[in-house]
Amino acid sequence: MNEKNEKNENSGRKFSVAVIPGDGIGQEVIKEAQKAVDAAASLEGASFEWVGYPFGAAHYLKTGETLPKSAIDELKQHSAILLGAVGDPAVKPGILEHGILLALRFVFDQYVNLRPSMSLPNVPTPVPLGGGKIDSVVVRENTEDLYMGLGAIAQEGELEATINLERGKYSLRGHLGLLISPHVPFAAQIALNSGGGVARITRYACETARKRGEKRVTIVSKSNAAPALYGFFEESAGKIISDEYPEITGEVVNVDALCYHLVRQPASYGVLLCPNLFGDIISDLQAGLAGGMGIAAGANIGEGLSMFEPVHGSAPDIAGTGKANPIAAILSGALMLRHLGLERSASAIENAVSGYMAASQRRERPFEFSGEASCSMVGDAVVKRI
């Protein structure tokens, strides 16, 4: 440990992180994120112990389990979770996504899905930015809305379901009974936004705006079509903002209009406060506008254990080819460092990523940007600059 480290308040801090590389390119990109986090943390004299967990397609196909209860207790002992991606063509869509990813978000009540989007040097964007730079962040509610996991298909025109659900802040009990005449098959899925749920994500969005030095939070809604669900969301969010954050303007934009404006003026937004489903969709749009999924980082944050994962999925088509871009995972590692109080390390990673991209020749860039640098080469190039 050098003198510089000894003066640092983080010097000597040790963190234990649960690593779930998961499926496909998750395996490859997470290695690079770990390398970057180790290098950056050592700048502050902090260190990471990585404890690997095998959850994902292979484990499921072998054992039939997605996320066992025993693992949840064990995970609690860590400082954070770093996750690659889950999803595999050999497993029916939804099983791993619900059984692992959504389960983790719900069990640990990770109510914030934070997805920043930033222009990086030498990353071509599909839409001209008009000289501006994208620097926006989706603050997505991560536990409610259409993601309650309450739905059923009625083949015979009649649906009877008992609801018995435990969530971080409440339990939900009840009954859903629907009869359609004439008897045709139908499906129903319950979306729910609660007062407490909207309040806490709104506060998080406002605190994010404050940290960014901004006075506007865009509330993403669709109250013209779904007045109960999203009317409630936008009114509850608006009230929290005017009562508690007088300096901030809560600007309501319907999600369809937001898509239109985002495509035409991608650099004109800041904090985007979204209900769960819209946040999922807008974060992909935002990633596309900034240049690609390979640079889109994400964090699932709660009061307990938080989880850091790139926005992208397992990309089975390029898994094992070395073509995966690890930048999204590396930047997710930076979000983890920031969450753990290692601000200097987090910035070191972010600066290293943009420094590497700025200085890179075409061939030294990730395949995603017409380069020829493999996943580990990109990781090495970033680490060298940390």
Contact map string, positions 193 to 222, toward ligand IPM, x by CB under 6 A:
------------------------------
Of the candidates 38, 65, 97, 372, which one interacts with ligand IPM according to CB under 6 A?
97
Q: Does 101 bind ligand IPM (CB under 6 A)?
A: yes
CA distance 143 to 171: 13
Which of ligand IPM, Mn ion, none does 97 bind, CB closer than 5 to 8 A by kind? ligand IPM
Site string for ligand IPM, 77-96 (x = CB under 6 A): --------------------
* In the complex, least distance from residue 323 CB atom to ligand IPM, rounded to whole angstroms: 21
109 contributes a contact to Mn ion by CB under 5 A:
no
DSSP symbol at 99: I
**From the CB of 143, what's the least distance to ligand IPM, in Å?**
11
Angstrom distance (rounded) from CA 246 to CA 379: 43
Residue 102 interacts with, from ligand IPM, Mn ion, none (CB under 5-8 Å by kind): ligand IPM
- Distance between CA atoms of residues 309 and 84, nearest Å: 6
Residue 123 beta carbon to ligand IPM: minimum distance, rounded to whole angstroms: 21
Separation CA 51–CA 17 (nearest Å): 6
- φ/ψ bin of 105: left (φ > 0), alpha (ψ from -120 to 50), beta (otherwise): alpha
> By the 8 A CB rule, do 7 and 306 touch?
no
* Residues of span 107-126 touching ligand IPM by CB under 6 A: none
* Binding residue count for ligand IPM, defined by CB under 6 A: 4
Q: What is the x/- site pattern for Mn ion, positions 285-314, by CB under 5 A?
A: ------------------------------
Size of the site for Mn ion (CB under 5 A): 1
CA-closest candidate to residue 59, choices 97, 98, 104, 96: 96
Supply the minimum distance, in Å, between the C-beta of residue 42 and ligand IPM: 30
102: contact with ligand IPM by CB under 6 A: yes
Rounded to an integer, what distance in angstroms lies between the CA atom of residue 33 and that of residue 330? Answer: 4
Strands (E), 43-85: 47-52, 80-85
Neighbours of 205 (CB within 10 A): 31
Residue in this structure with the two tokens 């580990």, named with its chain if needed: 376
- Cα separation, 34 vs 27, whole angstroms: 11
The entry of ligand IPM, Mn ion, none near residue 145 (CB within 5 to 8 angstroms by kind) is: none
Question: How is residue 118 written in tokens?
Answer: 């930033």
CB of 142 to Mn ion, least distance (A): 11
Taking CB under 6 A as the rule, does residue 103 contact ligand IPM?
Answer: no
Closer residue to ligand IPM in complex, CB, 12/93:
93
Q: Which does 134 bind (CB under 5 to 8 A by kind): Mn ion, ligand IPM, none?
A: none
Q: How far apart are CA 241 and CA 243, in angstroms?
A: 6
Match 């460092």 to its residue by tokens: 337
Sites for ligand IPM among residues 268-287 (CB under 6 A): 280
Q: Are strands 112-118 and 299-301 parallel, antiparallel or unpaired?
A: antiparallel
Instruction: Decide if 151 contacts 208 (C-beta within 8 A).
Output: no
The Cα–Cα gap between 53 and 111 comes to: 23
- The listed partner (Mn ion, ligand IPM, none) that binds 65, CB under 5 to 8 Å by sort, is none
Least distance from C-beta 106 to ligand IPM, angstroms?
11
Compute the least distance from the CB of residue 161 to Mn ion, in Å.
Answer: 26
Instruction: Report how far residue 114's alpha carbon sits from residue 299's, in angstroms, rounded to the nearest whole number.
Output: 5
Can residue 280 be called a binding residue for Mn ion (CB under 5 A)?
A: yes
Nearer to ligand IPM, 141 or 368 (CB): 141
DSSP three-state, residue 211: helix
The residues binding Mn ion (CB under 5 A) are 280
The residues binding ligand IPM (CB under 6 A) are 97, 101-102, 280
